[in-house]
Structure 1
Amino acid sequence: MGYLAEVNYTDPHTGRRIREQKSTHRLDLAREWRQTRKADALRGEVRGKKDRLKPMLFSKYSEEYLSQWSKVEKRESSYRRDQVSLKRLNHTLGKRQLSEITRRDVEKYVAERKGEGVTSATTNRELCCLKNMFRKAVDWGYLKSNPAWGVKQQKETPPEFGFLTENEIDRVIECSAPHMKAFLTLAIHTGMRRGELFKLEWRDLDFQTGFITVRYGKNGETRHIPMNSIVRQTLDKHPNRIVKGQACPYVFSRPDGSPFKWPEGGFQGALQRAGVTRHIRIHDLRHTFASHLVMKGIDLRTVAKLLGHRDIKMTMRYSHLAPEHLQAAVEVLTQRTPQRQAQREGTGSP
């Protein structure tokens, strides 16, 4: 007497329904085979899939990944980061068949980069790119599994950041080009990222409620930033550019009406004229915003919300700037309630 085991599932790569059967003389073996194949199918392991994997060089696949996924689905800055990472990854893995790359190869690559003295941050960006590439290769049917899955990232040293003092803020704005004064003022008084300011539109400004809507945040989330009096005055005086008889939608734009793109060099020139000799980047204006809030006693959760940080750990880098605020917090423990104070002095009821 024989037993016939059967399992039906959908091929995740082609969408076709597949039926597998196996004959055996033992009922327990038939049941075991059926359970095993059902579990395999749930993991995406399709019968004969190895034979159907399309041969693909890593270098060839990286081109497809960049053009059909990274460029289309990611922010421009992330796409450029992928380009940089893949240039180095292709140097090592470019001539390898995609299906032949193993987890050991990935771990070896990470170790080699560490041995070359490359920063942990750079290595982690490359590893992240590799993981995302392989994940998409599985989705597209080029790989059975992700060989980079489970490879640990390197521990990163928190990056140092600079910020401008109040006097330096005034001097830098004064020494900047006329068309840049409003941009710098908003960067310092709102904490918005450079890219967010470039995409800021007049419709995002609500002078009635006093809020700026950030629609193109780094995490894809919308947030609202209140205008202080300086921001309001600056925007009131900032002209709305007219291009071919039409009002330009962008607050900061080029003469042709396209979003403004300001080179880092222009900012460095303003710093030099203002007498700021240490290294400060445009992004450090965001740090300037956060640093001054913390130094004036604003709690970190409020600062995190204004900055659009998902994780409070990102904001904790500013905590050392508020020693007096932290001292005042722990000093609360020394304060006693009236009842406890009376008991201590022996005047209250036991």
Structure 2
Amino acid sequence: MYGKRYSVARTVRAKGKEYEVNPLERDEVEAILAVAPPDFANLIKFAIWTGLRPSEYVALDWKDIDFAKGIIRVRRAMTDDARAKGKAKGEFKGEGEAETTKTLSGRRDVQILAPAREALQAQKKRNPDMSGPVFINPYTGRRWNIKNNIYRNWTKALERASVAYRNPYQTRHTYGSMMISTGENPSWVSRQMGHCDMTVTLKSYARWMPVDTESIGARAIAAFSPSSRKLASVRNAG
């Protein structure tokens, strides 16, 4: 396997590397989805293709999904504070109630890309009750608990898939790096991810920006260079 045993305890101890940007490769994503249980596979695929934070996707209700417009309305998050309040009230494992996202940029509409739509359609078959949460733990019938259920199932899935460990938040970084590496507009990516501004996006994923040294500046020259415009006018005249 990978030298060290996979365990939830180990993920908690690895504080130094928990939040490094370490996205999954395409073959790793495919391997994880192939071995994960159906409900959890739907959640992982959705997370990878939306870039939502774990606290955001566990808080989603079906009413937040607008299939007609192709958007996900992100308005709430299941934070540690929310769970702590729920635990204080004696609720089931401190489930709590989702809270409004703390920043304006966090409250956003996220475009549903085709793979994310596939995950949602598959999840509708697993969880047809459209009056409640999108993603539920099939063993409890309730929302997934990030620190317990998600970490545990995530760790097991990576181990079964023989994929080197990184924390579940890396699904978000996988989305960000995929979008930037394929040339999507950083401003659009920033809005999709709920970053406070584009500098956060660029700082996180700059090393994945494609660089085509052979054609650097070619489009700008073609659009704005006087010689290019003169050539274009000659061609049009001919």
State the TM-score, normalizing by the size of structure 1. 0.47
| One of 42, 47, 60 as aligned partner of 1:187 | 47
Deviation at 1:252, TM superposition (A): 1.2
- Aligned mate of 1:320, from 190, 201, 207: 207
Aligned-partner residue type, residue 38 of structure 2:
P
Q: Is the 8 A contact 1:248 1:257 kept in 2?
A: no
Identify if the C-alpha distance between structure 1 residues 231 and 247 changes in structure 2 by more than 3 Å, giving closer, same or farther.
closer
Greater Rg by CA: 1
Structure 2 partner of 1:259: 143
1:233–1:333 CA distance, 2 compared to 1 (3 A) = closer
Q: Which residue of 2 aligns with 1:291?
A: 177
Cα deviation code 1:267-306 (max 9, x no counterpart): 12211221212x3110010000010111111121111000
CA-atom RMSD in angstroms? 3.0
Distance 2:228 2:135 in 1: 60
Distance of 1:197 and 1:343 partners within structure 2: 53
Aligned residue type for 1:296: T
Tell me, yes or no, if structure 1 residue 249 matches structure 2 residue 132.
yes
Assess if the C-alpha contact under 8 Å between 1:161 and 1:287 holds in 2: yes
Looking at structure 1, the residues matched to 70 and 58 of structure 2 have their Cα atoms a distance apart, in angstroms, of: 20
Correspondence 1:107-126 to 2 at 5 A = none
**What is aligned with 1:161?**
21
Q: How many angstroms does 1:219 deviate by?
A: 2.0
* Deviation (angstroms), 1:332: 3.7
Residue 109 of structure 2 aligns to a residue in which SS?
A: strand
- Corresponding residue for residue 80 of structure 2: none
1:308 maps to 2:194: yes
Q: How many equivalent residue pairs?
A: 184
Does structure 1 conserve the Cα–Cα contact (< 8 Å) formed by 2:54 and 2:169? yes
Q: Which runs of 4+ in 1 moved over 6 A?
A: none
- Tell me, in whole angstroms, the C-alpha distance in 1 between the residues paired with 2:118 and 2:228: 51
Describe the shift of the 1:297–1:256 C-alpha distance in structure 2 as closer, same or farther (beyond 3 A): same
Q: Write the distance in 2 (CA, Å) between the matches of 1:334 and 1:297.
A: 19
Q: Distance in 1 between matches of 2:114 and 2:107?
A: 23
1:179 aligned counterpart, secondary structure: helix
Q: 1:326 to 1:219 in 2, by over 3 A?
A: farther
> What is the CA deviation profile of residues 168-188 of structure 1, one whole-angstrom value per residue up to 9, with x for unaligned ones?
111111111222011001100
Distance 1:256 1:333, change over 3 A: closer
Query: CA offsets, 1:132-152, max 9 Å, x none?
Result: xxxxxxxxxxxxxxxxxxxxx
User: What are the Cα deviations for residues 21-69 of structure 1, in whole angstroms up to 9, with x where unaligned?
Assistant: xxxxxxxxxxxxxxxxxxxxxxxxxxxxxxxxxxxxxxxxxxxxxxxxx
| Paired amino acid for 1:219 | T
CA contact (8 A) 2:221 2:228 kept: no
The alpha carbon displacement at 1:339 in A equals 4.3
Distance apart, 1:264 and its partner CA: 1.3
Out of 107, 118, 137, the residue aligned to residue 233 of structure 1 is: 118
Matches within 5 A, 1:67-78: none
**What is the 5 A alignment of 1:1-350?**
160-216=20-76, 217=101, 219=103, 221-238=106-123, 239=125, 241=127, 249-254=132-137, 257-261=141-145, 262-277=149-164, 279-316=165-202, 317-324=204-211, 328=215, 330-335=217-222, 339-341=226-228
Q: Which has the higher contact order (CA 8 A, sep 6+)?
A: 2
- Contact 2:39–2:126 (8 Å) recurs in 1: no
Unaligned runs of 5+ in 2: 1-15, 77-100
- Extract unaligned runs of 5+ from structure 1: 1-121, 123-158
